[in-house]
Amino acid sequence: MPAHPRIPDPATGPLAAFAYALRQLGEGELSIPIIAERSGVSRAALYAALSGTRLPSSKTVATLIRWWAGDPTAESEVDRDHLADPVWGWGVLLPLDHPGREASSSWHRRYLRLVRELNEGRVHHQAAAPVSITVPPEQRRFIDELQGLIDSTGLEDSRWLLFGELNRKVTSYLAGNCLPERRNISRIVMACLEARGFELDPDGPDDDEGWDLEFDTRENLEELVAEARVARARERRKARGGRVKS
């Protein structure tokens, strides 16, 4: 974050308006480097709160308000360890006639309103509804390769002997409903090769041929899965009427 981030335009949204108001509050007050040194909150976090590009943490905002509208040197040390809210509770430690007491509570309420407003905005911008797609050719190639690997064990009609609790997921992979993560690809390859008699126990006897085959098979499946993921994303865009990347 640059030392002098661009001044946010308050008309562009609630986050920018909040950051702009913070900047106004800090005009002529203690500098960010000094606040960072005395509070322990990083300069980057403090400057980011003034940029209007992302929601700052509650602690970061409270720190700025504490040093710009409050006065840490005037805070009472009595009951400091028993504050109900250690982030914003510093206001009650100020003298009764200090304006920082009201600033603490009013800015806290303003920050909470901002959080609610941003969260409500996210609700209105939820991910697009799921769509039904046919299994693309790239995914079909993965399925064929996976089926061939299973068939090589001779246990294609008793997959549960190979995969145990993983068998339900393997069934979904073969049906084209989903794609495996790398961890499950490794588990599938290991199970199939061990069923074919290869010794793949890291603590067991060396089996260079088995480990070479495990590497090549796993790498091949991972590449096919990566291609299938791209293809499924493409088909989903098409189903929603979106632009398809060439």
Interval 118-171: pLDDT, tens: 887 655 545 556 778 899 999 999 999 999 999 999 998 889 988 999 999 999
Question: pLDDT band for position 109 (50/70/90)?
Answer: very high
Task: Output the pLDDT for position 4.
Answer: 54
DSSP letters along 175-202, please? HTS----HHHHHHHHHHHHHHTT----T
User: First CA to last CA across the chain, in angstroms?
Assistant: 36
Q: What is the DSSP letter of 116?
A: H
Angle of the 137-151 helix axis to the 167-175 helix axis, nearest 10: 140
Cα(211)–Cα(135) distance, integer angstroms: 32
Task: Output the pLDDT for position 118.
Answer: 85
Helix (H, G, I), strand (E, B) or coil at 246: coil
Cα(201)–Cα(35) distance, integer angstroms: 57
Q: What is the DSSP letter of 30?
A: -
Cα(99)–Cα(70) distance, integer angstroms: 7
Amino acid at 69: A
| The pLDDT of residue 187 is above 60 | yes
Interval 193-229: pLDDT, tens: 999 988 877 666 666 788 889 889 999 999 999 999 9
Q: Which residues contact 5 (CB under 8 A, 6 or more apart)?
A: 47, 48, 50, 51
Cα(107)–Cα(49) distance, integer angstroms: 14
Q: What is the pTM assigned to this prediction?
A: 0.50
Interval 48-100: pLDDT, tens: 999 988 899 999 999 999 999 999 999 988 777 777 788 999 999 999 999 99
Contact between residue 152 and residue 195 where contact means Cβ atoms under 8 Å apart: no
Task: Output the pLDDT for position 246.
Answer: 46
